[in-house]
Chains A and B, each alone.
Chain A
Amino acid sequence: MHLKLTRTGGFGGITPPPVEVDTATLSKKDAQHIESLVAGAKFFDLPKSFKAAQSQPDRFQFSLQIAHEDGRQHAVTCDEEAASEPLRQLLQAVQTLKRK
């Protein structure tokens, strides 16, 4: 599975370079963790874009693109504060992988 995460907004208004992850290059444990988070977030069923009803100042916005080896592809853009807990965990996990 190939994931690409872009983060914008935030207090600093900084857009770091996108994080790209290919689960085939991860340890089995990490790859399975990502896959279960993607499933838990019901990622492929999410709308293409969604915002918070009331924007919270200085929150991030995320854009996540995933291409699954089974052929499914999807891209979601959302406000950080509108993301479900499972989606937040997926976003955090992808960012954390980059730091390893």
Chain B
Amino acid sequence: MKKPLPVPLGHAHVGCPVCTIIPSHMLRHLSQNGPAHLREQAFQTLQHSERLRGQRDMLAYLGAVSLNTPTGAKRRTIYDLAHGTNLPGTLVRGEGAPKSKDAQVNEAYDYSGTTYDFYSKVFGRNSVDNKGMRLDSSVHYYTSYDNAFWNGAQMVYGDGDGTIFQRFTKCIDVIGHELTHGVTQYEAGLAYQGQSGALNESLSDVFGSLVKQWKKKQTAAQADWLIGEGLLAKGVHGVALRSMKAPGTAYDDPQIGKDPQPDNMKNYVKGNADHGGVHTNSGIPNHAFYLVATALGGYAWDRAGKIWYDTLCNILQPNSNFVAAANGTIRSAGILFGVASKEQNAVKAAWQQVGVIK
């Protein structure tokens, strides 16, 4: 089995019956019991065809049961889309494989590894699904694509257009942000619109930022609290895409406008664009997290991060709004550190300061 089965046009709605010559049960057996050099290929082939059939449950089952990845073991796969959009693309680097000549491949590999390690070492989490799910990234999506996204199963990165944006794999917090969308999907499942969507976005910024801080061993005071610092091309008047420390100040340039993020509920942005402003109103919970982290000091992942992670995994629901997040994090802080503890008080004060609770 030299090549994976052909992947049809990369959009799920294209109606194309998937007929594979090698039956799934045989591929499944091979992926578990076959000779070592065939197991990974069998798994990939199965993954392609099962994904096309929409059987994500089967993939999760396989990942959890038969591949039985112990906690702390990463499995990364990097693909090259070569400026097309048919996901996932051509496999170019697997786990443990040597560096590529392509910087984007190496960045996707390294930073998804750091993100895995962060979640594993800080929270004891085994990958996105907490069951050792393989971390798939595809680079060079489309041409001059000013974006990165999580498609529900993998990360996808564009090259940027070069004038406004650089390549999206450049920033570790972008990769942490995308992978965290996966974590949220498996935990609270926050609906991607309105306040629940802004919370979803904020969690990705929070943990994306924490991955960066953890890698650099920065305290809350040392961190820049910027999202996508270095992503904007030279000549664009801006330092980052977002600031958790000072929402609304990250950029101001005629080509992209001014950073629209509010730092308080009184400036909450209404309207339908961007699923009800999920990337804009995320400034409010982002700032709340920043306030907690800096009030408590030390490493932000130790206490503020733990409170937020606990809330994500145990309290938040798909339709949770900002008030629910405030009450949830206050409750988590009480459970983790004690009622009326310094930590719980800091969380309450932060949500009051951004105007979510009185």
Contacts and interface: CB of A to CB of B under 8 A. Distances in A.
Interface of A: 8-17, 54-61, 81-82, 84-85, 88, 92, 95-96, 99
B193 A11 contact: no
Contacts of B66: none
Interface stretch (B99-107, B174-182, B291-299, B326-334): B174-182
Given A9-B274, A12-B147, A57-B150, 20 more contacts: A8-B273, A8-B274, A9-B273, A9-B275, A9-B279, A11-B168, A12-B241, A13-B260, A13-B277, A13-B278, A13-B279, A15-B273, A17-B255, A57-B178, A57-B192, A58-B178, A59-B149, A61-B275, A82-B13, A88-B85
Interface residues of B, number: 44
Contacts of B164: 16
B143 A92 contact: yes
B36 interface: no
Contact of B257 (A14, A61, A82): A14
Given A84-B11, A96-B144, A56 B275 contact: no
Contacts, number: 94
A89 to B, nearest CB: 10
Interface string B88-129: 000000000000000000000000000000000000000000
Contacts of A88: 85
Given A9-B274, A13-B274, A56 B147 contact: no
B214 to A, nearest CB: 21
Contacts of A16: 164, 255-257
Given A11-B168, A61-B273, A99-B161, A56 B142 contact: no
Given A9-B279, A54-B152, A58-B178, A85 B11 contact: yes
14 contacts: A11-B228, A11-B241, A11-B279, A12-B228, A13-B260, A13-B277, A13-B279, A14-B257, A55-B275, A57-B181, A57-B192, A61-B275, A81-B11, A96-B143
A56 B152 CA distance: 6
B14 interface: yes
Given A8-B274, A9-B274, A92-B142, A14 B151 contact: no
A73 B139 CA distance: 37
A59 to B, nearest CB: 5
* Dominant secondary structure of chain A at its interface with chain B: loop
Contacts of B178: 11, 57-58
B193 A14 contact: no
Contacts of A92: 142-143
Contacts of B77: none
B85 A56 contact: no
B290 to A, nearest CB: 18
Given A57-B192, A96-B143, A11 B149 contact: yes
B179 to A, nearest CB: 11
A28 B76 CA distance: 47
Contacts of B50: none
Given A11-B148, A12-B228, A56-B152, A85 B168 contact: no
A95 B148 CA distance: 17
Interface string B260-292: 100000000000011101111000000000000
Contacts of B144: 95-96, 99
A49 B280 CA distance: 22
Contacts of A56: 149-152
Contacts of A8: 273-274
A90 to B, nearest CB: 14
Contacts of B177: 11, 58
Contacts of A14: 241, 256-257
Contacts of B151: 56, 81
B200 interface: yes
A54 B152 CA distance: 9
Contacts of B242: 13
Nearest to A59: B149
A57 B274 contact: no
Nearest to B260: A13
